[in-house]
Structure 1
């Protein structure tokens, strides 16, 4: 059976055929209602997004087909977060090294100036 991307969360879930048919019917119903209110409406209807969050997901996330996809996405996000943290540490570490070098250079020059005038300079 062919699974298709979820209309809202295609980057997370692929949906089984029967579920896709029901989702498409809901999406079209919400689209029609949105067009009644605003004939110029485009995009994903907000009511469909709400329906997916509070009805569809809780009803389907317990099924192994969807639970496995959710867990795979969670694992991928964990890896992405880990890689981003490493990038941040590298960037921040480099910035901190640059800051420390600037502080040391400033203190050195301030000390040299203080030697000339015979007064202490606060760092």
Structure 2
């Protein structure tokens, strides 16, 4: 599964978006603009944007936040595959891929999530 991440315009000159960078996906059910909002966070930077949920911004072939929302736990992970400006395509990690990331003690998943036992991909 691939998603479109729309990064914020102003990240104070910082460049958090890197190929193969780990992005934590965090559901925001109390978001006042979108009850299916999924925030994107990265190590060292915090919140860098959102999974796109608009037909104007979802890149063809990727899932919107609304389509992804019920497929992941409240927190999950994706890996950046393509970057063009502030538009990013990230691959939602399979359970096997996430397991491999967890085995790597240097992986950002360890810095982005306090309790990895609560992370799950539903329907797998």
- Structure holding more helix per residue: 1
Q: Give TM-score, length-normalised by structure 1.
A: 0.22
Whichever of the two has the greater Rg, that structure is: 1
Q: Give TM-score, length-normalised by structure 2.
A: 0.22
- Structure holding more strand per residue: 2
Bigger relative contact order, structure 1 or 2, given CA contacts below 8 A and separation 6+?
2
